[in-house]
Amino acid sequence: MSETSLSIGAAGLLRAGNRVLIQALLLALTALQFVALLSPAQAPLLGDIAAVLVAVFLPPAFLRARTATRVLFGLLAAAVVGATLLTGSLEPVWRGLHNAMLLGAFLSVLQLLRAVAHGGPAILAVRRRLARLRPREVEGGFAVGAFGLGSFLSFGAHAVLAPLLPADAAAADKRAAALASVRGICFTAFWSPFFVGVAYVTHQMHGTDSGMVILTGLVLSLLALGADLALGRTGPVSLGRIIHALLPLAPLGAAIAAVFLGIMALTGMSAMGAVVVGVPFVSAGLLLVNGIRQAPKALKTALTGLVYGSDELLLVAAANVFAAVLTEVPGFAATVAPFLAGLPPLPLLLAVFAIMLAAGACGFHPAISAAVLLGIFAVQPAPVEPLCLAVALVMGWSLAVTVSPVGVTMMVAAQMFAVPFPRLLFSRNLAGTVVVAVAAAVLLAGLNGLLQG
C-alpha cells in the first residue's frame, strides 16, 4: 500500500472519529439539559458539566466546519481574547459557555423532529397535493408551503418542496420557487418556537411572555405572507387551492402546538426549554403513528444531522461568549447603552432592525448582534415594552439570515433547488427584507404606544 493511500486512510479515520466525538458530545449535552429542565434543583451542577462539554465541543466542531464558519469563529475567538484581557476575568467566558447548554440541546432535538416528521404520511400527502397546483399558483404555493412546513421542519422544508419542480424546469422557474420558499421560511421564523431566533430571544428575555411573543410574531408573519401573495397576484381562489394542499398538516401542527403550549403553561418553561423536553415525546408518538419500522432510519438521519448542525452551534456558542465578555468591557455598555436607550420607540426599533440586517449582510450570525443588543439593554433597559423589543429581535434575526452570505437557510435552498447561491442572495428578496423591517418597526412602535397607554 502506498504512502498516499495510507495518509488518505488515516485522514478518513480522523474525520470519522471527529464526527463520532461531535455526536457523543451533543447527545450528552442534550441529555444533561433534558434532566436539568425536569429537575431544576440539579441545574447548576449539570450546567457546569455542560459548560465543560461545550468547551470540548468547540475544537472538533471547528475542524469540520465550513471555511466561512471557521473565519467567523476565528474572528470571534480573537475578539473574546482581546475583550477578556481588558476585563481581566474569565467569569464572562464561563457564563457564555454555560448559556450555550440549552442551545446545544435545542438544535439537537430539532434534528430528531425533522427526521421523524419528514417521511410521515402528512408530509407525503402535502407533497402530492402541491404537485397538482396550476403553473401560476406554483410560486405562491412554494411560499405558503414553506410557511406551513417550515413551522416545524425549519429549513428542512426546502428538501420537501424542491422535488415538486419538474426535473427539466427552467432556471428562472427554479430561482422563483427557491426565493418563494426562502420567503415562506423567513416569515414563519417570526413566530415558530422551532427556530433558533424565537427560542434564543424568549429564553434570554425570560421575563417576557413567550406565548405573546409567538402570537405577535404569528400575526406579523401572516401580514407579511399576505402582502407577499398579493404582490405575486395570488387571488382568493388560488389561495384556497394552496391552503387545501396544506390541510394534511393541520392535525400534525395542532398536536405539536398543543404539546409545547401545554408544557410552557404547566411548567413555566421558555419556548426553547419546552421544545427540548417535548420533542422526544412528540417524536416517539409520531413513530408509533407512522410505523415503528421507520425508527432506525429516522434515528440514523437525526444522528447524522447532529454533525451537519454543529456549524450553527459553533457560532451561536461563540456569540454567547463574545456578548458576555463584550458587555463586561469597561466603558462599553456605559457608552453604547445610553445612545440606544435614549432613542424614541420608533427610531430605536428601526435601529435594532438596521443593526441586525447590517451585521447579517457582513456575514455575522444573528446570534452575535442579538446577544450584544440583549447585553446592552440588560445594562440600561430600552424605552419600549419588552414584548415589542423581543419581537423586533426575533424578526431581525430571521430577516438577517436572508441577506447573509453565509445564511444556512439560503445555502440549503440553493442546494435543494439547484440555483447558484449569488442568484438567491442578490434578488428582489433584498428589497422585500428592508420593506418588511421598516413596516414591522412601525407596527411594533404602534403596539408599544397602545401597551404604554
Minimal CA–CA distance to 406: which of 368, 434, 352? 368
Q: Which amino acid is at 197?
A: G
On whether the CB atoms of residues 107 and 313 are closer than 8 A, the answer is yes
Q: H or E stretch including 439?
A: helix 428-452
208-243 per-residue burial string, b: 16 or more CB within 10 A, e: under 16: bebeebbebbbebbebbbeebbeebebeeebbebbe
pTM for this predicted structure: 0.73
Residue 286 CB contacts under 8 Å (≥ 6 apart), including other chains = 116, 117, 120
Q: Which amino acid is at 28?
A: A
pLDDT tens string for the chain (453 positions)? 555 655 556 677 788 888 899 999 999 999 999 999 989 888 889 989 999 999 999 999 998 887 877 888 888 889 889 888 888 888 888 888 887 788 788 778 877 877 787 767 877 787 778 777 776 777 888 888 888 878 876 776 776 677 677 667 788 888 888 898 899 999 999 998 878 888 889 888 878 888 899 999 999 999 999 998 888 778 888 888 888 888 887 787 778 778 877 888 888 787 778 888 888 888 888 888 877 888 888 888 888 878 877 777 887 788 778 877 877 777 766 666 677 777 899 999 999 999 999 888 877 778 888 888 888 887 677 788 999 999 999 999 999 988 876 666 777 787 668 788 778 877 888 888 999 999 999 999 999 999 987
Q: Which amino acid is at 179?
A: L
Residue 228 CB contacts under 8 Å (≥ 6 apart), including other chains = 143, 183, 187, 432
Distances (CA, A) of 151 to 31, 94, 181, 270: 25, 33, 12, 17
Residue 337 CB contacts under 8 Å (≥ 6 apart), including other chains = 376, 377, 379, 380
Q: H or E stretch including 190?
A: none
Question: The C-alpha cell of 134 is what?
Answer: 396550476
291 conformational bin, left if phi > 0, alpha if psi -120 to 50, beta if neither? left
Distances (CA, A) of 13 to 7, 188, 281, 307: 10, 40, 35, 16
Is residue 1 exposed (0-12), middle (13-18) or buried (19+ Cβ within 10 Å)? exposed
Q: H or E stretch including 342?
A: none
